[in-house]
Every structure is written in structure tokens, then in C-alpha cells.
Chain A
């Protein structure tokens, strides 16, 4: 599977044209009428530009709205704002502890990701490398939890948090995302694909499970760890239903929840709501720009099998 990721990422980047084919001949070119290619190309580009416009315009509009003076919004939208203002952002930061909320979102997503990587890789090692009675049954039980969506669990999980008096805490935000069966599954697959000779050699050198796991297995499954990390981070960053159910205090809110609360308060103040949207898009857009290749490859990875 790591090879699948590598294959995908390399083909995503411009793959070099083969200079020769398998028999050492120069690559055959199938001639096509030149005019058809150019007309087709132009149509293709026009189509793609239209698509890109549809995909990007809402973001542009969000930014434009957030700097439009509130009073002029009701007169209908304009792309070129006459007196751009940051008033909406001032209202936003005065209404909600936005810095705290952004930080919460990041902290919860990072902790959830780290926890899922630790719990997932350890369980993956146990299922992929250790022999014990009932391994198949236990692994089956793990997979069975994959079938249960959070939406179905929300009511009993909320009751559980209430009974444990843990609702409205950071712990309750993290509780359902400490371990993910999908992560265990992906990492077990990756660990099983590693050659056994590696750890057998380490055993001869006197290494135990802990050393094999940390010094041999973990470095070799990095691509799969990246996939699991991306899935975990995005799931936590976007999670809405569970925080909505379990969090009440503004200081514990994550971005989706804060935005929803903002929307409830300013139903018609679109400049403020859009300012909130801009603030919540920026951090994840930065993460995306930094890790674009890994994110796309990671998501594609979940689809190949």
C-alpha cells in the first residue's frame, strides 16, 4: 500500500515521458489532425476555467462580503467594495473568543491525531506482528466498530458523558476520536506488508517488541501514518455534531461550533458571519498549502484497494 501512495504521488507530479518503450524503440505517436486538438484544447480550458470559477468564487465572495460595510449589504452585492472595512472582524472578535476557538480547534485536532497514530500503530503492530489466541476475533470486533457511525452513537455517548459528569470538557471533545478502527486497519495492512526478515534479524540481535516497533516498524510505515494523520486531523477539524451536543461554554468551542453559534446570533449580519468563515478557512488553507501532496495522496489512498 505505501507503494500505491508513492505511485499516486509520482504520477500526480508530471511524470516524465518514456524515452523508449519496452523494446527499446522510440515511443509511438498516434497522429491526430492538428486542428481537432486545438479546438478540443480550447474547449477543455474553457470548461476547466468555468469549473475553477465555480469552485473559487464562493471563497472570493466570502472575503468580499466580510470587508463590505454592514449597512450596504442589504442593497445587494457588489464585487468591488467602495469603503472596505474590518468592522465585521472587530465585531467577530468582540462577540466570541475567536483566538481561543481557533486554538481549541487546532489543539483538539492535533491531540486527536497524535492519539490515533499512537493507538492505531500499536494495535496495528499487535494484529500484524504478534501471535495470540483470539487475534482474528478481536480484530473482527475492531472492524465491527467501523460500521457504527457517530451519528448513531451521539445520544448514548452524550448520556455517558453526562453520567460521568464529563460533558462540556476538552476530554469529552476528544473521547470519541481517541482510537479509530479505520486507522488500526490501515496501519495493520501497512505493517503486514513489511518483510518479516527485518524483525527476525532484530530478534536475533536481542530486540524486544518495543524496540522492533519503534526502531524498525514505525519508520517504515510513515506513508500510511501520514494518511491516517490526515484523515484524523480533517475529521476532527470539521467535526460538528459531537461538539454541538457536548459543549456549552464558548471557551471550549471549536470553529464549526463557534461559527454556528455566531450564525444564531447574527442571522442577518452576513459581514460578521463571513468574517467568521474567513477566519476558519485560513488555518486549514495554510495546512493544505503546506501538505497538499500528502493530503491528496492520503485521501486517494483510502479509495485504492
Chain B
């Protein structure tokens, strides 16, 4: 009955809009076509994103090993997670990964972009070489680097040995395991960052650089005062993407170290996987994914707020 009383309003609304829309935009016919165009995307998003997301809240409030019946546990899972010293370590490892990875890919990608923005012979080759790891899957990258950094018979330690330098245990040593993962990850993503920065560099009007040169600015001054500020939208994008992806790091860790040695590289998503599929604690895993989600939301919001302050547009 409420529908009957609510009906007149949409009709007028539609009429008003009709004057602005296409001649065919009216009534049931329009509704039919809107549904035809929207349902193919709305149904999968609803089924495989929205519903699992809602279900995940429910799971996080239960004790469940995915086999026997789930038991309601209230916020116990969250309380336990927040009190568990292990949780802090997970986030610390994840942030440690980001802290090592981000400067490497950002500075490396920026440097390569600046070098490859010049006109030089073989530029296409260099760009392709740097970009090749980007299209290689994480699993392959992790395996290849596990082999390169093999402590016993890997090529990196062979070279270090020949130079009479120290031969770290790399991914088998708790102190070197995270640096090994960072190295492999930076190698893979360098080309992606380069492409983003290159696009940013090419969007900078060349008149600005020329004017500064005429005014006697040195190369460094031009880079510091013109290039870097005008690259800030690209830098911003790289930092946001790296942070969000870094918080979700999993593939390379799973393949290279499996979270070891001695839990030294256990990261948040790795623990979500272990809790669910190794320890049968789906409730804890769901609660942990919500903690991760909230952290991602907070960081994204903080960065969007900060964007206005430090992004300069040409």
C-alpha cells in the first residue's frame, strides 16, 4: 500500500527529467532498458562482492572452522585479535615491507623515467627491458628471485663470494628474508612506476623548462623547482597505489618464504589465509580482514585529504 501512495511523485520527477533527457527516456520502457544495461554488472558485483562483504561481518562474529556449525561469539574475535601480540607483528611486517619497497620503486622509477624521457638511441629497448617484469606474474617473480637469492647455489651469492663479500642467507635468514622479498617486489614493479612517472613527465609543458633555462636555472634547480612539483599528481598516484597494494602483499611472500623463517615475514593477508585454511579459524580470519579493510580506508581517506595540500597541478 505504501507503494500506491508513493507512486505519483516519481512520475512528475520523471517528467521533469524527460525534458532534459533523450526523447525515449520515459516510464517503464526506460526502466526496462536501464535494467538491461545495468543488471549484467550489478548481479555479479552484488553476488560476489557485496553479499560476501556483508557475510564477512557475520562470519567475523562467529567461531567457525568451516566444517562444524558456526557458534556465535560476539566481538570476541576482534577483542582477541587486538590483544594478540602476533597481530601487531603482522602489521609491523607489512608496514616494514612498504617502508622498504616504496622508496626503492619510487626513486628507481623516477630516475629511470627521467633518464628515458631524453631522446636517445635504444630508448624503446630500455623501456621494454624495464617493463618486462611488470607483465610477469608474482609467482614467477618470486620463484626466480628465490633461485637467484638461493643461499647455497644462487647466482647472487656466487658473485658476492667471488668478490669476497658477505653471503647473506637471504630468504632463509630471518633478518634477510624481508629484504629479499622487497628486492624481488621492487624489481617487478619498477617498470610500472616508470611508466606512470614517464606519463607525468611528458604532461609537463616544455615551455616551462625552456623558460627556466633561459633564466639561468641549473639542471638540478629545474628538476627540483619545476619537474618535481609538477610530477606530484603522478607521485601521489604511485604512493597511494603502493600503500594500498603493499598492505595486501601476499603472493610473493607465500611463494618465497611462506611467512617464515620463524614468522619473520608473516604479513596480514598471509595470516588471513593461514587462519582460514590451516587453523580452521574463519571467524578470526574475517575479523582480521575487517581490521585490514579499516586500515586501508583510513589511509585512503587520509591521503585524499592530504592530496590538496601537496599536489600541484600545471
Contact = CB atoms under 8 A, between A and B. Distances in A.
B24 interface: yes
B248 A240 contact: no
Interface in A14-31: 14, 28, 30
A63 B82 CA distance: 47
Interface string A43-59: 01101100110111011
Most buried by B among A11, A125, A210: A11
Interface in B145-198: 145, 147-148, 150, 152-155, 158, 187, 190-192, 195-196, 198
A153 B293 CA distance: 10
B66 A153 contact: no
A45 B132 contact: no
A241 B273 contact: yes
**Chain B interface mostly:** helix
B38 A126 contact: yes
B259 interface: no
Interface stretch (A96-104, A218-226, A254-262): A254-262
Contact of A184 (B23, B41, B49, B250): B41
Given A55-B133, A277-B144, A280-B137, A132 B282 contact: no
A232 interface: no
Contacts of A178: 44, 48
B199 A300 contact: yes
Given A122-B37, A122-B40, A159-B66, A151 B136 contact: no
A86 B33 CA distance: 57
- Chain A's interface: helix, strand, loop or mixed, by majority? helix
Contacts of B50: 141, 145
B21 interface: yes
Contacts, number: 284
B21 A131 contact: yes
Nearest to A45: B120
A169 interface: no
Interface residues of B, number: 106
Interface residues of A, number: 103
B137 A256 contact: yes
Nearest to A49: B126
Nearest to B219: A40
A55 B38 contact: no
B20 interface: yes
10 contacts: A14-B119, A52-B126, A59-B144, A151-B292, A152-B289, A153-B52, A175-B47, A184-B41, A208-B24, A257-B139
Given A131-B30, A157-B48, 16 more contacts: A30-B213, A74-B153, A130-B25, A132-B31, A133-B14, A142-B41, A149-B293, A155-B289, A159-B52, A209-B37, A241-B250, A256-B251, A276-B143, A288-B132, A303-B199, A303-B238
Interface of A: 7-8, 11-12, 14, 28, 30, 41, 44-45, 47-48, 51-52, 54-56, 58-59, 61-62, 65, 73-77, 118-120, 122-123, 125-126, 129-133, 138, 141-142, 145, 147-149, 151-160, 162, 175-176, 178-179, 181, 184, 199-200, 203, 208-210, 213, 234, 237-238, 240-241, 244-245, 255-257, 259-260, 263, 270, 273-274, 276-277, 280-281, 284-285, 287-288, 292, 295-296, 299-301, 303-305
